[in-house]
Chains A and B, each alone.
Chain A
Amino acid sequence: MSNKINHSLSIAKPDATDISTKQKLALTTGIIGLFILVLALFNTNFPNKGLFLTLALGLISIGTIIYSRDAYLTKLEGIKNDGVWFKSISSRGVWGWIVGIILTTFYIVLYFFPKYLGLGSNGAENTGLISLFDPLSNLLSRRAASQWFVYGTLYTVAILAFGYKFILKYRHNRYQQLRTISVMFFQLGFAFLIPEFMYVMNNDLPYYDLKSMWPLNYYIFDEWSVKGFLSNGNIGLGLILFGIITIFVISPILTYKFGKRWYCSWVCGCGGLAETAGDSFRQLSSKKMSAWKLERWLIHTVLVFSVIMTTAMIYTYLGYDKNNFWLTRGLFTALVIGFLTLVFAGVLFFKKQELGKDAKYGAIGFFVVIAALLIMHFTGTIDNVFYIKSNSLRSAYGLYIGSIFSGVIGTGFYPILGSRSWCRFGCPMAAILGFQQRLFSKFRITTNGGQCISCGNCSNSCEMGIDVRAYAQKGENIVRSSCVGCGICSAVCPRGVLKLENDNMEGRINPTEILLGNDVDLMDLVNKK
């Protein structure tokens, strides 16, 4: 081997984790693909848009595929985390920041200035990047592309290409492979293709991603959406009923049996992107106690807010008179309050102990919702707050939570805050599922007796910022509302300490003082006091 070259100028860890020639070629391929998109963004008018779009997406995918194959298939099966804290991109280095800023800028333009992406307004033709996607959109649903179509396509390509990478990275772990195939399937089918085909069948139906439930899909009960569904006869009615059933029936059953992972790690698109494209950033989430405190306040505030908002939204388009429709404003308010009270009372009755200190916060949230609804109902202010389209709370929610939080910060900040900061701090769906997971679910991560060596690999790779080690080293099972059941903590544990399982509710939460392996009498004495 020649040692003439290879004089590294890097002052960090020089060449500790060189990439191979093949990987460099793969990177080049991918970057050429990206470059075509950039050219389009700057209004290069490609002659044959279909060809260039195919080329761009194809090169990006092929680049990722070749890179992953060379990175993982040339080595034996096992954990592949060498150098993640050395690489600039995955350790908040210069590259991390650059990518973070590019992504964030992209999101800001996407949400607020789509015209810069080339969206034709008032019936004008698309230009720029969006026009490059016209051929694909025409092919799928016989209409011109929108900024959302561009975004959806890139999103899907990212999940598919990086999903492939993830599957190779964990090729010794069938749990990881299956759930990745699952999110790839749901993204491609449910989030991307089916809505396009539904549009072809019936172009008045609102966009509906069947797997996206309220409150993640916060606009499903909006007036335009509900009207859109209801004015479409049986399909529309069926869809909205399906929406209601998923939240109130299917989801609680599945969460009871499997924990919230059935959704967050197997179905959800936000989670899907975080697990695939965001995988390199999972270790960046903060494990500090202070971050946990912030998380609990933020996520529950978002939940409270989205409950109030949705209720109020429905309220605004219901009438006072029951001759028009059996569901009147008064009845609806009463039903919501009744339902919430039932849930709250049930929890207090059955789970007071497990809730402990959190009961107080739960109560605060509960009363805030009830009070807000009652005040608005009796003062008649709901219409004022919610109906005026501009300046209303509703669009504020859409703006701050829907776009800024989930997109700009949630995804744009992957390289800074870690891959699931939206899921962790902002997703109201995660809050609901998590609440159930903590209290009524068979799911837990079992800790294997006294085997933990406190190494910290598990905590380090928990994208939800759970300090898994804090439980494992006490021999305590992990039953946390925020756990999305990705299973990576279990995969990386070098001592086989963690297992995700669905088992009896009995003994699921098992705080211990003295761990298995020590004097039996002592364990009995101290643990069962």
Chain B
Amino acid sequence: MQEHIVIIGNGISGVTAARHIRKLSDKKITIVSAETDYFFSRTALMYIYMGHMKFEHTQPYENWFWKKNRIDLKKGYVNTIDVQNKTLHFSAGDSLSFDKLIIATGSKPNKFGWPGQDLEGVMGMYHKQDLENLEKYAPNKQACKRAVIVGGGLIGIELAEMLNSRNIPVTFLVREDSFWNGVLPDGESSMINRHIKNHHIDLRLGNNLKEIVSDENGKVKSIIIEETGEEIPCDVVGLTAGVSPNIDFIKNSGIETGRGVKVNRFLETNIPDIYAIGDCAEQHEAIGQRRSIEAVWYTGRMMGETLAQTICGNRIEYKPGHWFNSAKFLDIEYQTYGWVHGKKSKPENEVHFHWKHEDDTKCITIAYHKDTNEFLGINTFGIRMRHDIFDTWLNEKRDIDYVTNNLSMANFDPEFYSHYEADILSAYNKQLQIV
């Protein structure tokens, strides 16, 4: 009989692994998920609430795809993993045996033990169920007179945009003194602060949540801010202070866990034939400047691509190339290639060249080595850039002069857009004169 590969989690990591295993082999494949019947794009959750798309549009493959590719789907919540007998036990009481197991269970929203964090109307924004919850408590501005979002990261700002699309007033509590400045350099972070305010979102920088207050029915009534003691009445509280691996059910299985499921560079756990990929996997040692847990779409996909090789007999390491990522802050698109650090985490020999357009919606930051001038990375806001060009320049270890002089090669904006390369270059040359 064919080897049976079971994958827990039908997110991007699990599904990518399954697709590639199918391309490479004839093994029996089963994907297990408790969340939805079919794979959908978690990154598109916001667009459903905003009415840009319906849920079915977020499913990258049509429903017949799975059967045609002989990928079995099972809906169910895995309670325990019996590693000795290679069997999964479901909360419904049934079980499923495997020859090889891939754990791809993703993340769950962080909750930091705030008083009231489990009240009705308080929710994270990760699973489809969270979206249904939001639809229930914040269908419109009559039912939800104000929403408070706690935590200024990428999901927080998406939630703010979502609520804004239905004209629901939003108060946005951000612990840091400028939006996402643990990651973004100051110039960019402060531009985004202004952009958020231009959207009439009540941005509160340097504010922490103290507690969530209940009404008589166990539903949220207001929140209280730590620093000022101010009480803000609200009907919905969104907790978006980061995510952490969704692995509670694994803790007693004998599979080694830390914050996530511990894996080596081959994505193998301490138990043979059991692997972990995606948001829930934690590298013993971080790769390069990456974090040991990488909770982004692309890394989940890359781990899936890699692990499929290993499972199909070509054992290889997970060796991601140059870091890249992207996001959108309301109307401003953001892309990053290589490493550009925010003030707090910036290595001592990394220096920045920053350019901002006068309309305050476009800027770039190029990071380079203080002594060698080597190009280290770029953040770009409101200007699209080409991934492959920056990947090549990073490989070729180009210096900042080369990058600023050839920036137009990397431009990826639609045709007829205004170009800013000349402007950027002259700003760069001016800066050189000053230094």
Contact = CB atoms under 8 A, between A and B. Distances in A.
A321 interface: no
Interface in A471-494: 473, 487, 490-492, 494
Contacts of A517: 298, 302, 320-322, 324, 387, 391
B306 A448 contact: no
A63 B421 CA distance: 41
A6 B142 contact: yes
A391 B326 CA distance: 61
A342 to B, nearest CB: 34
A457 B50 CA distance: 12
A50 to B, nearest CB: 40
Nearest first, the 5 A-B pairs at minimum CB distance are A449-B387, A78-B331, A496-B384, A455-B44, A83-B51
Contacts of B335: 451, 495-496
Given A6-B142, A16-B166, A501-B415, A519 B50 contact: no
Interface stretch (B57-65, B77-85, B112-120, B180-188): B57-65
Contact of B321 (A3, A13, A470, A520): A520
B58 A174 contact: no
Interface of B: 12, 20, 23, 41, 43-44, 47, 50-54, 57-60, 62, 139-142, 165-167, 198-199, 297-298, 301-302, 305-306, 309, 316-322, 324, 326-328, 330-331, 333, 335, 384-388, 391, 412-418
B140 A13 contact: yes
A18 B416 CA distance: 34
B414 A454 contact: no
Contacts of A494: 328, 333
A423 B418 CA distance: 31
A175 B414 contact: yes
A459 B57 contact: yes
A499 interface: yes
Given A449-B391, A457-B52, A519 B321 contact: yes
A518 B58 contact: no
Contacts of B387: 448-451, 516-517
A9 interface: no
A490 B43 contact: no
A85 B51 contact: yes
Given A13-B51, A457-B53, A490 B305 contact: no
A250 B328 CA distance: 41
B405 to A, nearest CB: 22
Contact of A454 (B43, B309, B321): B43
Most buried by A among B59, B318, B385, B412: B412
B331 A456 contact: no
B416 A457 contact: no
B178 to A, nearest CB: 20
B391 to A, nearest CB: 6
B415 A455 contact: no
A495 B57 contact: no
Given A501-B415, A519-B321, A16 B51 contact: yes
Interface string A497-528: 00111000000000001111111111000100
Given A454-B43, A515-B301, A519-B321, 11 more contacts: A13-B140, A16-B51, A174-B416, A175-B416, A450-B387, A453-B41, A455-B43, A495-B335, A500-B414, A501-B415, A517-B387
B154 to A, nearest CB: 11
Contacts of A8: 140, 142
A371 to B, nearest CB: 36
Nearest to A178: B416
Contact of B52 (A81, A499, A526): A81
B141 A15 contact: yes
A454 B298 CA distance: 10
B51 A495 contact: no
Interface in A145-201: 172-175, 178
Contact of A453 (B142, B297, B330): B297
A495 B306 CA distance: 24
B53 A496 contact: no
Most buried by B among A289, A451, A501: A451
Nearest to B198: A76
A459 B56 CA distance: 12
A358 interface: no
A379 B326 CA distance: 66
A456 B41 contact: yes
A469 B60 contact: yes
Contacts of A448: 384, 386-387, 412
A526 B306 CA distance: 11
B192 to A, nearest CB: 13
Contacts of A499: 384, 412-415
Contacts of B51: 13, 16-17, 81-87
16 contacts: A446-B412, A448-B386, A448-B387, A451-B387, A453-B44, A454-B12, A455-B44, A456-B41, A460-B52, A494-B328, A496-B335, A499-B412, A514-B305, A516-B321, A517-B322, A519-B320
Contact of B414 (A82, A173, A470): A173
Given A85-B54, A519-B316, A522-B306, A473 B62 contact: no
A360 B12 CA distance: 36
B60 A457 contact: no
**Could you say which of B50, B52, B305, B386 has the most chain A C-beta atoms within 10 Å of its C-beta?**
B52
A473 B414 contact: no
B52 A85 contact: yes
Contacts of B41: 453-456
A85 B139 contact: no
Contacts of B330: 76, 78
A270 to B, nearest CB: 23
Contact of B43 (A82, A453, A487, A491): A453
A314 B43 CA distance: 57
A125 interface: no
Nearest to A472: B60
Contacts of A470: 60
A456 B309 CA distance: 27
Contacts of A500: 414-415
B128 to A, nearest CB: 15
Nearest to B164: A82
Contacts of B167: 18
B78 to A, nearest CB: 24
Given A15-B142, A496-B335, A460 B302 contact: no
Nearest to A494: B328
Contact of A451 (B62, B165, B326): B326
A127 B333 CA distance: 56
Nearest to A173: B414
A139 B173 CA distance: 64
Nearest to A86: B51
Contacts of A491: 414
Which of A8, A288, A473, A491 is most buried by chain B, counting CB atoms within 10 A of its CB? Answer: A473
A518 B60 contact: no
Nearest to A492: B52
A76 B196 CA distance: 11
B142 A77 contact: no
